[in-house]
Structure 1
């Protein structure tokens, strides 16, 4: 599971460029700590190359007011809620790290190191009442995550973004990939 992530243009030149691309196209993504249902920056397919847009994080849930923010990558192709989206509308969440909580409710920030490095998370989106909404994919945790939580985001390298968005075969194979090792930093309790 991934319940929150960071999008910090002032801390990371690559995220600043992504943020500026969104602004240039008339979008205004939230910055800082991103919560479920926030309007966040996403990388999606364009006509000839990827582009940056914003959309709400979370599909409508089964109950009124509920949001589904994560989908298990291992079953996404079989689940009616996600199957068409993962086949036709894949996206990427540009982040500067994500948060997870252990069973004791201690909050941890994850990234490649202790700085606000760019971390890309695989996702998909769909239209609900004409409005695009997105979910990010999770997978089984690796050694760097398992002591904190039993799921982790499906993380892409920068060079895998185009393949994830445009190449169906790559996407189907990638969902079972081994995730990179990450560093965790304890954060003050919420």
Structure 2
């Protein structure tokens, strides 16, 4: 799964800076822009997202059918068929830019936090939808089985698209099996801290 990621603005990351500049211009003087988050990103935060048209602001998490809480991830293997995700998968694809994402390995009664990254900005595949009374769309991050190098941390990972195929993904032309085949696996990881597990 993917339940936390990081958007660095203090380092020289030209791609993320450009995305944020475009979002600032597009949403200038709006309440949504004042709520935009960078740094460590949590579910329900409002963040910069890439759509086929232009960078946008979206909120992380679809509202559950019963209205209680959010769904933040969708399995790539079943997103095209599940009622909650299939329309978004077919019609509303996006990319979530990040400096890295976080995952936790359970070690006894503790959890080891890892930052998982690429040498450059990573782009996680997502889908989004519009919900009643929401001023901006909501998105979820697609996940897949973890790459062998990080499978000891967690059995799932976000679908990370190569930059050169981002346009093909956004266009809706890639089927699930093609996305799986082309998604990035060559990631690196580094331990961040150790915190008590929640039981």
After TM superposition, is the score higher than 0.5? yes
Give the root-mean-square deviation of aligned CA atoms: 1.5
User: Whole-Å Cα distance in 2 between the matches of residues 144 and 23 of structure 1?
Assistant: 37
Taking structure 1 as the reference length, what is the TM-score of the superposition?
0.90
- In structure 2, the residue matched to 1:146 is 151
Query: What is the CA distance between 1:45 and its match in structure 2?
Result: 1.9
CA contact (8 A) 2:145 2:155 kept: yes
- In structure 2, the residue matched to 1:14 is 15
**Following superposition of structure 1 onto structure 2, how do residues 158-173 of structure 1 map, counting pairs within 5 Å?**
158-168=163-173, 170-173=174-177
User: Whole-Å Cα distance in 1 between the matches of residues 68 and 188 of structure 2?
Assistant: 34
Taking structure 2 as the reference length, what is the TM-score of the superposition?
0.86
User: Whole-Å Cα distance in 1 between the matches of residues 152 and 98 of structure 2?
Assistant: 22
User: Whole-Å Cα distance in 2 between the matches of residues 91 and 188 of structure 1?
Assistant: 31
Q: Deviations over 1:124-143 (max 9, x none)?
A: 00111142100010001111
Query: What is the CA distance between 1:81 and its match in structure 2?
Result: 0.4
Query: What is the CA distance between 1:189 and its match in structure 2?
Result: 3.0
Q: Deviations over 1:142-168 (max 9, x none)?
A: 112201000000001111111111142
Runs of 5+ consecutive residues of structure 2 not aligned to the other structure: none
User: Whole-Å Cα distance in 2 between the matches of residues 185 and 166 of structure 1?
Assistant: 33
- In structure 1, the residue matched to 2:138 is 133
Q: How many residues of Structure 1 are paired with residues of Structure 2 in the alignment?
A: 182
**2:85 counterpart of 1:82:** yes
User: Whole-Å Cα distance in 2 between the matches of residues 124 and 174 of structure 1?
Assistant: 16
Query: What is the CA distance between 1:64 and its match in structure 2?
Result: 4.0
Query: What is the CA distance between 1:180 and its match in structure 2?
Result: 2.2
- In structure 1, the residue matched to 2:114 is 108
Query: What is the CA distance between 1:23 and its match in structure 2?
Result: 0.4
User: Whole-Å Cα distance in 2 between the matches of residues 9 and 175 of structure 1?
Assistant: 29
- In structure 1, the residue matched to 2:26 is 25
- In structure 2, the residue matched to 1:41 is 48
